[in-house]
Amino acid sequence: MTQPILEVSNLRKAYRQGGLFGGSAGPAALADVSLALRPEDGKVLSIVGESGSGKTTLARIVLRLVTADSGTVSVAGQTIVASGARTVDNRTLRHLVQPIFQNPFEAFSLQLPVEEYLFRTAINLGDAAMRSNPKPAVEDALTAVGLGYARIAGKGIRAFSGGELQRISIARALIAKPRLIVADEPVSMVDASLRMTIVNLFKELSEQLGVAFVYITHDLSTAYYLSDVMAIMRQGELVEFGRPETILQSPRNDYTKALLDAIPTLDRRWSIG
């Protein structure tokens, strides 16, 4: 039996609202969400849904940046959240799952050269060999995202475009050799002309390195293009889950139909130019 790359079971989250002393539970940001990405399904799970549907909440629970009220999360067979509580230590977690955020400029500080982050990641998360000589791991990760070390050496974030900086943050995520990368709207702040190069990079990395991705987006067309399995969320619930072509060819849900109708340019053959 194969272990799921990602398995989420009965996840619930309601943010607390109001009151200096904890307030009360607000509406459910996640209402009993269960899903799984299995090796036989492929490597990329997309999560699509309108604003406020719970995509980021789900991502942040998987990254353990937000605490769930209840439910279980496992990555590559290891339980990282059980009954809402953390299980494995943070170091183990970082080798299982790594984040890529929407705004790559926020992932790095203005002061430090970006290579410093890559070195620190290699030193913090590497084995003894990587700790004593982190440079090869940093170079490998940069090569994997199509950048040479010389391109970044000594430079701060201002020297890069959003697309380049997002590549560097992908390199940083790769250093720990995670099983899963969770990318929350990773191209929405990247120049439109460069978005497909980043989406293609995810595809390439999933095929060549075997790392799996959760790709969160508002954009059904890139989700369709990139993902092997698609989840559509609305108001904290999963309204569709399955192969993208099945969902888009015969949406079961009126909400999915509305999302499809809201795409002005893309025709139903789903060709991506």
Ligand X SMILES: Nc1ncnc2c1ncn2[C@@H]1O[C@H](COP(=O)(O)OP(=O)(O)OP(=O)(O)O)[C@@H](O)[C@H]1O
- If the CB atoms of residues 29 and 68 are measured against ligand X, the closer one turns out to be 29
15 is a site residue for ligand X (CB under 6 A)? yes
The identity of residue 204, as a single letter, is E
Residues in contact with ligand X, shown as a per-residue x/- string from 37 to 76 under the rule CB under 6 A: ------------x-xxxxxxx-------------------
Binding test (CB under 6 A) with ligand X, winner from 6, 29, 63, 201: 29
Q: What is the DSSP string of 179-213?
A: SEEEEESTTTTS-HHHHHHHHHHHHHHHHHT--EE
Report the interface residues with Mg ion, using CB under 5 A: 55-56
- If the CB atoms of residues 138 and 183 are measured against Mg ion, the closer one turns out to be 183
135 is a site residue for ligand X (CB under 6 A)? no
- If the CB atoms of residues 55 and 234 are measured against Mg ion, the closer one turns out to be 55
- Burial of residue 20 (number of CB atoms within 10 Å: 0-12, 13-18, 19+): exposed
Identify what 29 binds: Mg ion, ligand X, none; CB under 5 to 8 Å per kind: ligand X
Least distance in angstroms from the C-beta of 189 to ligand X: 12
- If the CB atoms of residues 164 and 185 are measured against ligand X, the closer one turns out to be 185
Would you state the structure tokens that stand for residue 247, as one six-digit string?
């969902």
Least distance in angstroms from the C-beta of 56 to Mg ion: 3
Q: What is the DSSP string of 79-146?
A: EEEETTEE-S-HHHHHHHEEEE-S-HHHHS-SSS-HHHHHHHHHHHHS-HHHHH--HHHHHHHHHHTT
32 in the Ramachandran plot: left (φ > 0), alpha (ψ -120 to 50) or beta? left
Least distance in angstroms from the C-beta of 2 to ligand X: 29
Least distance in angstroms from the C-beta of 103 to ligand X: 12
Rounding to the nearest 10 degrees, give the CA dihedral for residues 64, 70, 73, 79.
90
Distance CA 240, CA 10 (A): 16
36: part of which helix (H) or strand (E)? strand 24-37
Least distance in angstroms from the C-beta of 15 to ligand X: 3
User: How many residues at the interface with ligand X, by CB under 6 A?
Assistant: 10
- If the CB atoms of residues 56 and 169 are measured against ligand X, the closer one turns out to be 56
Query: Which residues of this protein are in contact with ligand X, per CB under 6 A?
Result: 15, 29, 49, 51-57
